[in-house]
Structure 1
Amino acid sequence: MRVFLETGRLTLRAFTDVDAGEVRGIIDDAEVMRYINGGRPSAPGEVERELMPRLLHRYRCFGGPGFWVAEERGSGRFLGWFVFRPESEDSSREVELGYRLGRAAWGRGLATEGSLALIHKGFSELGVERVTANTMTVNTRSRRVMEKVGLRFVRTFFEEWPEQIEGSELGDVEYALTREEWERSRTSSH
């Protein structure tokens, strides 16, 4: 198991094929998937055929994956995952930040903790220049995490999705943070 990073309460590591069952447990929880697909359970074989290849994909510019299993440090309990993947296969300048944690991890500050650690690693070690994140406008919990980790609101946008879900008529929001903004905030907080 290759550990990508550790925080006080989390270990982030690369996905392996054996994680498919845990992934299915997360994406078959209607509350977890509420703002992703309206809470619809996965179709038979969807995890193995569609999701696992994305989670296992390795990016040339990173020399590794862009999706990271989040485990509870100490117990090793599977909590969900974080996304920190390049927007382009060939450049780590701009990355997308995301998180999908099971309900057992909600309300504990773990999305914030993991996101802060990924942002720090991205800007200090991986050559990242800009971090972006998107969610549905109505997903106030996710938006709050984005704000707490220093990302700023950029825009509201509307895309065509294969299925309408509650709140999608209000669009999606994009947040972002540049390396320069991150460095300035670290300097001013010391």
Structure 2
Amino acid sequence: MIVTERLLLRRPKLADVPALFEFLGDPDAMQFTHIDRSPKECRRRVAAHEWRRRRDGCAPWTVQLKESGRIIGWGGLYDDPFDPGWGVELGYYFHPDTWGKGFGSELTAAAMHEADEVLKLPKVSAFARPDNTASRRLLEKTGFRVVRYVSEMERYYFERLRPGG
């Protein structure tokens, strides 16, 4: 478990799926990315990423508020089992009622510390749609740079190289 100023970042459990599905299955919350169509699909996604954690050493965390324990997000570092070939990526997904409160920045800072100091990754990638200005701003603030636009995905591909690496 990783503890930040306001968040607990921990391995997901299948018991987290109902709370995760509240936003991972919400078309408005997931307007810029994949939407889980059912709790079963959400459970499959969580389980597939956890299987990859054993292989890769990283996968998205369940994000909880430290103060209340409420699950508000899912994200971190992962090699996407559903769209392989991009290397380790940073991704973050939050309940809409938590947007704009800096939780993405807090999660991203913890993930980049993990990438640099624990996993010692030479680079981390990320994707953002052109109209997802909040995500693009967060990535740029964290040191990611646009490498190219991937037209078949309708997303910008970002990379962040390990500092001093």
Indicate whether 1:56 and 2:56 are aligned: no
| CA gap 1:70/1:156 in 2 versus in 1, 3 angstroms | same
Alignment partner, residue 137 of structure 2? 144
CA distance in 2, matches of 1:178, 1:97: 13
Alignment partner, residue 15 of structure 1? 12
Alignment partner, residue 160 of structure 2? 177
Alignment partner, residue 83 of structure 1? 76
Deviation at 1:30, TM superposition (A): 2.4
The size of the alignment, in residue pairs, is 159
Alignment partner, residue 167 of structure 1? none
Structure 1 counterpart SS, 2:135: helix
TM-score, normalised by the number of residues in structure 1: 0.75
Contact 1:71 1:80 in 2 (8 A): yes
Q: What runs of 5+ residues in structure 1 fail to find an aligned partner?
A: 89-93, 161-170, 185-190
- Which has the greater radius of gyration? 1
Contact 1:130 1:178 in 2 (8 A): yes
CA RMSD across the alignment: 2.2
| CA gap 1:96/1:104 in 2 versus in 1, 3 angstroms | same
CA distance in 2, matches of 1:85, 1:52: 12
Deviation at 1:134, TM superposition (A): 0.5
